[in-house]
Amino acid sequence: MGCAGAATLKDLRTKTRLRRITNAGLIESHPHDVTITREAPNYQTRMG
């Protein structure tokens, strides 16, 4: 509920808007030009 900005269940039902994101948008929303020194054990991308 916090990610949707809703304080209550009623707000979640009435005031939220769901957005559809394309795979290209998902890739673009990740950080660019970052040198990874060690992979995080709890994070995976859908790209690979």
**pLDDT digits (tens), the chain, 48 positions:** 677 778 899 988 898 877 888 998 888 887 778 787 787 788 776 665
Q: Are 15 and 6 in contact (CB under 8 A)?
A: yes
* pLDDT at site 34: 78
| DSSP code of residue 42 | T
Domain parsing of the chain, residue ranges: 1-33
Give the Cα separation of 13 and 11 in Å (integer).
5
